[in-house]
Amino acid sequence: MWIAMRLEGCHVAGLMPRSETLIASYRRLAAGRESPDSLRKLAQEETRETITIQLNSGLTFAVEGQLLWHDLLRPFTDSLGGLRPGPLTRWFDNNLFYRKPVIVAKLELTAPILPKYLFMELLDGLAWKLVLPEPYTFYSLSDDQAYRRPEEAILDLAQIFSEELRRLAPRQPAILQLTASSIAFKTLSQDEIEIVKEAFKTVRKGFGGKVMLHIPFADASKAFPWILDLGADIIGVDPYLTELKALKEYSFEGSLAVGAMDSRNSYIESIEELKRILDAASTVEARSLHLTTSADMEALPRVVSISKVRRLGEAFRALREGEIG
């Protein structure tokens, strides 16, 4: 009954995987055997399907899927002035790789980026969710060869994200997720904490919806209690790496998003298994709960990700209606 009363939202916490067909299209493009227009048309249809599956499954917010993004940083790595793509680097402790951004000069937004990498025409009238890297995390995953002080680069990134979000109006997402693994990989110094806070405020200035700070691939408890002072509407945690009972001493003014659906495992959790994880979250004082995935699902086969989305929706509906005791 507690879960039924407090469960408020259900959504995916990151990028969705491409189909084998789309992956093959990218390979043909790289080999000069496919046109960019042909690939974009295929990606658009797959994005449409991705959104439809989420809506039909009963998720309260749909991600666009971000299928044009080779990794969470790449649109900015490829497009910002002052950045160039560096070596392939492991994405945290996953079997995925990203192009490490190399900062070679002051970061500048020379042209709109997000409209180029999102199928905005598919999002009209939808409650959708956009996933971006949190600025401190973006910087920590980069090679800075230009700035004398890290905080200057981080705040420049935050300002760029804020400007990009303003450009999305009136099609701004209902939820902006800032993926912030690096803030919990270690215990941050007070100076680092202040940089994270200032960058968060800067990003938020360009956005009118709810902001979710999500911490995959790390023990989120390392970012407590200071993370509560940021003013995030939703804080997301990976319960496979974060002991939920370690958070029970804290009081959330906002909501807690629980990544009960494991994004790094092809196993499809049962509704009962998802409920057990949410039950553990009942010890945390929060305004409401959101049911989500632990992270991006881009490393999973597309068919598995679809099954997980459908199970998320089934669990959300069953738990909201009190069908599972």
Beta carbons of 237 and 256 less than 8 angstroms apart: yes
The reported pLDDT for the residue numbered 292 is 98
- Asked whether the CA dihedral 139, 145, 151, 156 is positive or negative, the reply is negative
Beta carbons of 225 and 250 less than 8 angstroms apart: yes
Q: What is the mean pLDDT of the chain?
A: 95
The reported pLDDT for the residue numbered 144 is 98
The reported pLDDT for the residue numbered 283 is 84
pLDDT tens per residue across span 134-160: 999 999 999 999 999 999 999 999 999
CATH T-level topology, domain 2-320: TIM Barrel (3.20.20)
Closest by CA to 287, choosing from 320, 319, 259, 252, is 252
CA–CA–CA angle 238, 241, 247 (5° rounding): 75
Residue 290: pLDDT above 80?
Answer: yes
pLDDT tens per residue across span 56-71: 999 999 999 999 999 9
pLDDT tens per residue across span 94-110: 888 999 999 999 999 99
The reported pLDDT for the residue numbered 157 is 99
The reported pLDDT for the residue numbered 2 is 56
pLDDT category of residue 322 using cuts at 50, 70 and 90: confident
**Could you give the CA distance from residue 82 to residue 244 in angstroms, rounded to a whole number?**
40
Residue 176 amino acid letter: L
pLDDT tens per residue across span 13-45: 999 999 999 999 999 999 999 999 999 999 999
Q: What is the mean pLDDT of residues 294-314?
A: 97
Q: What is the mean pLDDT of residues 310-318?
A: 97
Residue 167: pLDDT above 70?
Answer: yes
The reported pLDDT for the residue numbered 156 is 99
What's this model's pTM, rounded to 2 decimal places?
0.96
The reported pLDDT for the residue numbered 93 is 86
The reported pLDDT for the residue numbered 169 is 86
The reported pLDDT for the residue numbered 91 is 92
The reported pLDDT for the residue numbered 4 is 61
Residue 324: pLDDT above 80?
Answer: no
pLDDT category of residue 323 using cuts at 50, 70 and 90: low
pLDDT tens per residue across span 195-222: 999 999 999 998 989 999 999 999 999 9
Query: How buried is residue 1: exposed, middle or buried, by Cβ count under 10 Å (0-12/13-18/19+)?
Result: exposed
pLDDT category of residue 325 using cuts at 50, 70 and 90: low
b/e 208-226 (16+ beta carbons within 10 angstroms → b): ebbbbbbbbbbbbbbbbee
SS (H, E, C) the chain: CHHHHHEEEEECCCCCCCCHHHHHHHHHHHCCCCCHHHHHHHHHHHHHHHHHHHHHCCCCCEECCCCCCCCCCHHHHHHCEEEEEEEEEECCCCCCEEEEEEEEEEEECCCCCHHHHCCHHHCCCCCEEEEEECHHHHHHCCEECCCCCHHHHHHHHHHHHHHHHHHCCCCCCCEEEEECHHHHCCCCCHHHHHHHHHHHHHHHHCCCCEEEEEECCCCHHHHCCHHHHHCCCEEEECCCCCCHHHHCCCECCCEEEEEEECCCCCCCCCHHHHHHHHHHHCCCECCCEEEEECCCCCCCCHHHHHHHHHHHHHHHHHHHCCCCC
Q: How far is CA 51 from CA 13, 83, 212, in A?
A: 14, 31, 20
The reported pLDDT for the residue numbered 68 is 98
Closest by CA to 138, choosing from 153, 122, 119, 117, is 153
